[in-house]
Amino acid sequence: MALGLKDRLARQATGQSRLTFDPTGRDEPRLAILPLALIDPDPNQPRKHLGDLADLASSIREQGLINPLVVEVAEGGRYCLITGERRFAACQTLGLAEAPCIIRTVAEHARLTVQLIENIHRKDLHPVEEARAFKRLLDEFNLTQRDLAGRVGKSVAGINQTLRILDLEPGLLAVVQTSEHATKSVLLEIAKEPDPARQQSLWRRVQNGELTVHQARTAKRAGSSQQPKKVRTVIELPDATVAVKFRSGQATAERVCQSLELALSTYRSQV
């Protein structure tokens, strides 16, 4: 069977094959850059309405197609789309001639889905591995967060939270994925910090055993808290608006009256 597949692929090639993989290899990634003109949508695809593609098309235009399409070899040197309908349609709207594709059979695709889901249920699975498995199932297998939640037995909120771990600064993400200190709860708190430098600082404290989840939340709030705003009092008059803004302290009634009296006195001395 494998030889038949290889023969069909070889016959479609003219000159040097565009394929970058050995079609008979079971463990090697089978990735190729394929002409979109050779790819046909799956006629049995239940998804009929693809929604607004403008944002997706804009992202592909700026960054390229990050998540490849998944296709199956069909007759006549063509391919049938397994997953990636919205990405495929967005590429077409952009007028792209080709796109990166993962080539596998429907059976292989289904088997890999099962393997990924089984892997997610490992007791020793690292939080970063779990987040990446979720991301792959969402992107490569066209699952929604609700679909994924149903398949892995978790809540949609739990899926969403786990995915937030991938918001860690890339360098830090590479470090924490090999650390035994990286519990999901702590990583989530660090990932909620938007400043990469603050993320690194919090992680150093985790490594030193100085930071619990509660402390991470407190430190995050303290680090992100803004400087006290200048207190500003506005007085609306029939034909004017008077504003008094203090550089520090509270705008008590006594301070406002004193400031207004001083301002009035200063103004009269200048006219």
DSSP collapsed to 3 states, 211-258 = CCHHHHHHHHHHHHCCCCCCEEEEEEECCEEEEEEECCCCCCHHHHHH
pLDDT tens over the chain, length 271 residues: 333 444 544 544 443 444 433 333 333 457 899 999 999 988 766 555 777 888 889 989 988 998 889 899 988 889 999 888 889 999 999 999 999 999 988 888 888 887 788 888 887 788 898 998 898 888 888 788 888 888 888 898 889 999 999 999 989 988 888 887 778 888 888 888 888 888 888 888 887 776 665 665 665 555 544 444 446 777 777 677 788 887 766 777 777 777 877 777 777 767 5
3-state SS class at 101: strand
Contact 67, 84 (CB under 8 A): yes
Q: Domain spans of the chain?
A: 2-104, 120-224, 231-261
**What is the dihedral angle through the alpha carbons of 236, 239, 241, 242, rounded to the nearest 10 degrees?**
-90
pTM above 0.85, yes or no: no
Contact 9, 17 (CB under 8 A): yes
Show the tokens assigned to 238. Answer: 């029939």
Q: Which fold has domain 2-104?
A: 3.90.1530
**What is the dihedral angle through the alpha carbons of 68, 72, 78, 84, rounded to the nearest 10 degrees?**
-40
**What is the dihedral angle through the alpha carbons of 36, 41, 47, 52, rounded to the nearest 10 degrees?**
30
**What number does CATH give the domain 120-224?**
1.10.10.2830
Contact 92, 129 (CB under 8 A): no
